[in-house]
Amino acid sequence: MKILIALRANEHHKEQLQRNATGAELLFIPADQVREEDLADVDAIIGNVPTELLPAAKKLRWLQLNTAGADTYCKEGVLKDDVLLTNATGAYGLALSEHLLAQLLAMMKKLYPYYDNQKKGIWHDEGSVTSIEDATVLILGAGDIGRAFARRVKALGAYVIGVRRREGAKPFGIDEMGTMEELDSLLARADVVVSVLPGTTATRGIFDKKRFTAMKKGSYFLNIGRGNAVVTEDLIEVMKEGRLAGAALDVTDPEPLPADHSLWHTPNIYITPHISGDDHLSATQDKIVQIAARNLAAFMQGVPLENLVNRTTGYKD
């Protein structure tokens, strides 16, 4: 059995993976250096290999992603129907929830205007600020990342509402659960709206002019899921109208965002270049490898894998 490891892995990570793959040949190649000939006889791939190379993997039975998002790999024709697809759900809660918290506090406390003033040598009081305490925080996507953020803002005194596709038990740190069918009424209650939605046909363009207008005047919007959940021109319009106090985007549509795009220059929009979910935090990479190692052991033993992705919905089953 031959397994391609396309993760960034240090020696400790490599040892973890090798321990769980006794009898298999492990080939370590960074994802951006993989060639078609490297895939010809692999049984499994761990890491996000470019989709255009995957048709060369004729023997492929399992693909383990190092991301939580799987939308690119769920598109028709990317993988054969019998290939198992698993993601790295559970690895990103810490990094992304802290990024969201930092962005939210920076907007609420007007840190961005103060940074701008500092560059210009301006000593000026920017006026009133807002607080997480007693704020109603609406989180779309109550998976690992959404729950991790919920716990953090709950600890700071927020009332937290979670939204997911189907009804289920209320997770720790969330005060109230709703469904997507209730979204419009929930938006009107929220001081903070956070999208952790994956990229699926159901979530594309879900935040349009109608939805932004349904939000409270002076509320905050944060998107850390997928850029195409937002109709970009509609967001620009409502921000220019001054409806929202701020919007923090780690993902955009289009992406990468062209240098001359008007989103860069829209008042009170704060952009980071899709970096919150990368492996800049060492703990994230450790968790990715732990998930991959457990699944590698399961694959070798022929038992069910964790984080299996439903390729129709794009979500983990």
Give the rounded percent of residues in the chain with a pLDDT score beyond 70. 100
User: Following CA atoms 139, 246, 250, 265 in sequence, which dihedral angle do they give, to the nearest 10 degrees?
Assistant: 160
Q: Of 67, 62, 20, 29, nearest to 48 (Cα)?
A: 67
Res. 46: pLDDT tops 80: yes
Secondary structure letter of residue 48 according to DSSP: -
The CA distance from 48 to 39, in Å, is 13
Handedness of CA 255, 253, 287, 88 (dihedral sign): negative
Q: Which domains does the chain have, with CATH numbers?
A: 2-91+280-301 (3.40.50.720), 93-271 (3.40.50.720)
Res. 51: pLDDT tops 90: yes
Is 50 exposed, middle or buried (CB count within 10 Å of its CB: 0-12, 13-18, 19+)? exposed
The tens digit of pLDDT for each residue in 251-285 reads 999 999 999 999 999 999 999 999 998 889 999 99
> Which pLDDT does position 183 carry in this prediction?
96
Res. 40: pLDDT tops 80: yes
The tens digit of pLDDT for each residue in 135-169 reads 999 999 999 999 999 999 999 999 999 998 877 78
- Whole-prediction pTM: 0.93
* Mean pLDDT (the chain, rounded): 96
> Which pLDDT does position 201 carry in this prediction?
87
Residue-wise over 76-91: b if at least 16 C-beta within 10 A, else e?
A: eebbeeebbbbbbbbb
Res. 177: pLDDT tops 80: yes
> Which pLDDT does position 214 carry in this prediction?
97
Are 20 and 300 in contact by the 8 Å Cβ rule? The answer is yes
Q: Return the residue matching tokens 């794009």.
A: 314
> Which pLDDT does position 223 carry in this prediction?
99
